[in-house]
Amino acid sequence: MVPRPRISALISDVDGTLVTTAKVLTQRAKEAVAELHARGIAFAIVSARPPEGMRMFVEPLGLSRVMAGFNGGAYVRPDLTLLEERVLPPDVARRALDFLDDRRVDAWVFAHGRWIIRNPKGPRVDHEAMTVQFAPTVVSDFGAALDAVHKMVGVSDDHDMLARCETELQGLLGRSAAVARSQPYYLDATHPDANKGVAVRTMATLMGVPLEEVAVIGDGLNDIAMFAQCPFSIAMGNASDEVKAKARFVTASNEEDGFALAVERYLLSGDPESMP
């Protein structure tokens, strides 16, 4: 047995990790987080979602620290009081929008606390509304919203095309933005420091926990950045092979209570001085 590092906090992705595909927070997941609290292990969430789309987790999970929305574009308290934010420079937002428009990819803008769209019949609109539990604002032109964008999203059910767009858009924007798919059908563009690697470091500081004592769990390509920051990293069983290869441990899928299983196996059970 090898020494188990001291873990003082767990930071978790949300979609594909904490909840099922149907966006259900299972009873076992709630009990696992409650036991973390009982053991004195802090718990926090980071997501590509807007902060408003994370409110439904505050009460059932007893969240009391910090939440990071937009992959780290906005850090808020559980009551949604803003602590820090990072928005896209306006010229970068406009270049990203032009890129998506040229490729006929539907664009969403998250700015000024709103989810703003131009095409209410576009792909995934109903799905997103169900996920974040609030409706979009429909406009004919994004206008001044492009001056304070927390996140711009290209949406398409052509996953291969969107993967190509990811490479092309990152090449176009360079270091002026972080570009990553949070789901196969969502291509996110955020401030260059709004990525989950920076988010984990910032959240650790805001929680007063040494980074080396933070464990992380996720399933998406955008979670690889936080795996790189924390040696105690866990990938979900539903993650791609690329994501799994970057994590230290792999748990079951989000349809098999993989989040709760990971907490139980790696953080709560056994000799606290040894690694299973």
Dihedral over Cα of 119, 120, 121, 125: its sign: positive
CB neighbour list of residue 193: distance below 8 Å, 6 or more residues apart: 72, 86, 178
Are 266 and 234 contacting, i.e. CB atoms less than 8 angstroms apart? yes
> Which pLDDT score is estimated for 2?
53
CB neighbour list of residue 275: distance below 8 Å, 6 or more residues apart: 1, 2, 3, 4
pLDDT of residue 276 exceeding 90, the answer is no
The alpha-carbon radius of gyration of the chain (Å, integer) is 18
Confidence bin at 81 (pLDDT 50/70/90): very high
User: First CA to last CA across the chain, in angstroms?
Assistant: 7
Buried b (16+ CB within 10 A) or exposed e, 129-152: eebbeeebeeeeebeebbebbbbb
> Which pLDDT score is estimated for 4?
65
Strand partners, 214: 9
* Eight-class DSSP state of 147: G
pLDDT single digits (tens) 168-193: 999 999 999 999 898 899 999 999 99
Question: Could you give the C-alpha distances from 214 to 62, 71, 203, 247, in angstroms and in order?
Answer: 19, 17, 10, 14
Rounded percentage of the chain residues whose pLDDT exceeds 70: 96
pLDDT single digits (tens) 129-182: 999 999 999 999 999 999 999 999 999 999 999 999 999 999 999 999 999 898
Report pTM. Answer: 0.88
Domains within the chain, CATH numbers bracketed:
9-85+195-268 (3.40.50.1000), 90-190 (3.30.1240.10)
H or E segment at 83? strand 82-85
Separation between Cα atoms, residue 36 and residue 76, nearest integer Å: 21
Separation between Cα atoms, residue 191 and residue 151, nearest integer Å: 8
Choose among 143, 266, 162, 199: nearest CA to 14: 199
